[in-house]
A and B are shown apart, each in its own frame.
Chain A
């Protein structure tokens, strides 16, 4: 059997992390949990996940973007797919996904709360494509 795929979730809302992680774990993934950007960077480098789920507005307003930027600086993580999960709409005038800063075509944006069934499907699709 193929080894379990490894996911990292970075979000300062512990309840959100708990719910989503449990669902993904029940569906065969190993999930690492981080509750702030710094912990996210540390776990990304240590565990080398196959895909990262990232919140944006943590204790700093755009902490998630900085975290993504930092993670992408690591050569081994340069192309890891990152799915952004945020309760922000992307269309608000002062909040847009930066066009620069290592944004990759296979990255995706999900509005919170997420439809976990759809999220699971997209994660599987992405990882199958990568395999």
Chain B
């Protein structure tokens, strides 16, 4: 597989000179490096050497057949997208080719637009496939190393606290500085807090994985939930010079769900929006109803999320490694937990972001409808109200 940042190139294999020439020109104009070959053997040698993103191959050629080329290309790299060119008379063969692994076919004659369309679609499909493959590998590695990773996450703050105390105990009087000692005690307390939030996030996660997180299914007013959270964070935000604004409808926005989990969800989103903001920035929480859904958008005016990270944002333990983001602490679990809560309640969460301008997390949840909630994974409504206070955090 070629490295993800290498430019995507295309190999065209066709015995027809005019076809090679025009395909080559169109592809080059699209910004795609293209090599053309008149027979399968030379084409395959180039495919093996350059690992292109796409191979466009004529099915009917003297020598090695197009069908054989398809099989050999996928032996070299199954991620290469293959498009076959074929005459109208051989459409059955084209279908046969797709069964053998070709992505699509172009019947002759075709226009430059048709070629461009199919190439763009094919490349997009490849990018998605590569991304999900990479993601899968990362997730597998993470699962395999979960215990190692978790113990490292726990030991790091513990080691720092231990180290401060150890040094304070062993420094002789002459080198002990009371101001520094106070500062170190403050750092120890901060690291202890870090440990506590780590543990509490893990417990939440364990409940998510055990399927016991969202237990309650009752009528909850999101207006109320969000207003309460905003009130709680008024001071924290002011300390960071960030202003909080609610743009909520005057009347209640009822959804069907678990009150505590909904609090955890919007608490996560709103604290993130404060944390990853800029001094003088703003957090806007807006709510609206549409088509049986309640839509809540939490928007910040912060640093934004680079596009390459967006696909992984909701993964467990994912944290952006950029310098700006490094300044804030976090367990890498908040958004993962948020996403799990939203999907347990039958909703969706998406992010839109612009670098340097800010990010918006939009949550859609099914609105409450009379006579009540349909039983979801939590199994029915109102029967777990007494347990509701402890199971989310």
Say yes or no: A59-B321 contact (C-beta < 8 A), given A15-B163, A114-B163.
yes
Nearest CB in chain B to that of A87: its residue:
B155
User: How many angstroms between the C-alpha atoms of A113 and B166 in the bound complex?
Assistant: 9
Nearest CB in chain B to that of A57: its residue:
B152
Contact in complex: B172, A19 (CB < 8 Å): no
Asked whether A22 is an interface residue with its Cβ less than 8 Å from the other chain, the reply is: yes
Contact in complex: B180, A22 (CB < 8 Å): yes
Asked whether A76 is an interface residue with its Cβ less than 8 Å from the other chain, the reply is: no
Instruction: Find chain A residues with CB under 8 A from B42 CB.
Output: none
Interface flags for B126-148 (1: CB within 8 Å of A; 0: not) read: 00000000000000000011001
Asked whether B233 is an interface residue with its Cβ less than 8 Å from the other chain, the reply is: no
User: How many angstroms between the C-alpha atoms of A16 and B159 in the bound complex?
Assistant: 7
User: How many angstroms between the C-alpha atoms of A22 and B152 in the bound complex?
Assistant: 24
Contact in complex: A16, B160 (CB < 8 Å): yes
Nearest CB in chain B to that of A112: its residue:
B159
B322 CB to nearest chain A CB (Å): 10
Chain B stretch 171-210: residues in CB contact (< 8 A) with chain A: 171-172, 175, 180, 184, 187, 191
Asked whether A92 is an interface residue with its Cβ less than 8 Å from the other chain, the reply is: yes
Asked whether A39 is an interface residue with its Cβ less than 8 Å from the other chain, the reply is: no
Nearest CB in chain B to that of A23: its residue:
B167
Asked whether A20 is an interface residue with its Cβ less than 8 Å from the other chain, the reply is: yes
Nearest CB in chain A to that of B326: its residue:
A59
Contact in complex: B148, A92 (CB < 8 Å): yes
Q: Please give the number of chain A residues whose Cβ is less than 8 angstroms from any Cβ of chain B in the complex.
A: 22
Instruction: Find chain B residues with CB under 8 A from A16 CB.
Output: 156, 159-160, 163
Say yes or no: A94-B148 contact (C-beta < 8 A), given A16-B160, A112-B155, A112-B159.
yes
Contact in complex: A87, B321 (CB < 8 Å): no
Nearest CB in chain A to that of B321: its residue:
A59
Asked whether A26 is an interface residue with its Cβ less than 8 Å from the other chain, the reply is: yes
Chain A stretch 90-107: residues in CB contact (< 8 A) with chain B: 92, 94-95
User: How many angstroms between the C-alpha atoms of A92 and B145 in the bound complex?
Assistant: 10
User: How many angstroms between the C-alpha atoms of A86 and B175 in the bound complex?
Assistant: 27
Asked whether A47 is an interface residue with its Cβ less than 8 Å from the other chain, the reply is: no
Asked whether B162 is an interface residue with its Cβ less than 8 Å from the other chain, the reply is: yes
Instruction: Find chain A residues with CB under 8 A from B152 CB.
Output: 57, 87-88
For the A-B complex, the count of residue pairs with Cβ-Cβ distances under 8 Å equals 65
Interface flags for A1-30 (1: CB within 8 Å of B; 0: not) read: 000000000000101101110110010000
Asked whether A115 is an interface residue with its Cβ less than 8 Å from the other chain, the reply is: yes
User: How many angstroms between the C-alpha atoms of A26 and B167 in the bound complex?
Assistant: 10
Asked whether B115 is an interface residue with its Cβ less than 8 Å from the other chain, the reply is: no
Q: Which of B144, B148, B158, B167 contacts A19 (CB 8 A)?
A: B167
B169 CB to nearest chain A CB (Å): 9
User: How many angstroms between the C-alpha atoms of A123 and B282 in the bound complex?
Assistant: 51
User: How many angstroms between the C-alpha atoms of A95 and B156 in the bound complex?
Assistant: 16
Contact in complex: B191, A20 (CB < 8 Å): no
User: How many angstroms between the C-alpha atoms of A92 and B150 in the bound complex?
Assistant: 13
B207 CB to nearest chain A CB (Å): 27
B183 CB to nearest chain A CB (Å): 9
Contact in complex: B148, A113 (CB < 8 Å): no
Nearest CB in chain B to that of A35: its residue:
B326
Contact in complex: B148, A95 (CB < 8 Å): yes
Instruction: Find chain A residues with CB under 8 A from B171 CB.
Output: 22-23, 26
Asked whether B99 is an interface residue with its Cβ less than 8 Å from the other chain, the reply is: no
Asked whether A116 is an interface residue with its Cβ less than 8 Å from the other chain, the reply is: yes
Chain A stretch 47-69: residues in CB contact (< 8 A) with chain B: 57, 59
Asked whether B318 is an interface residue with its Cβ less than 8 Å from the other chain, the reply is: no
User: How many angstroms between the C-alpha atoms of A29 and B341 in the bound complex?
Assistant: 52
Which 5 pairs show the lowest CB-CB distances between chains A and B? A26-B175, A113-B162, A15-B160, A87-B155, A19-B163
A15-B160, A87-B156, A95-B148 given; name 9 further pairs at CB < 8 Å. A13-B159, A15-B161, A15-B163, A19-B184, A23-B170, A112-B156, A113-B158, A113-B166, A117-B170
29 sampled A-B residue pairs with Cβ under 8 A: A13-B159, A15-B164, A15-B187, A15-B191, A18-B164, A18-B184, A18-B187, A19-B166, A19-B167, A19-B184, A20-B163, A20-B167, A22-B167, A22-B171, A23-B167, A26-B171, A26-B172, A59-B321, A87-B156, A87-B159, A94-B144, A112-B156, A112-B159, A113-B158, A113-B159, A113-B162, A113-B163, A116-B170, A117-B170
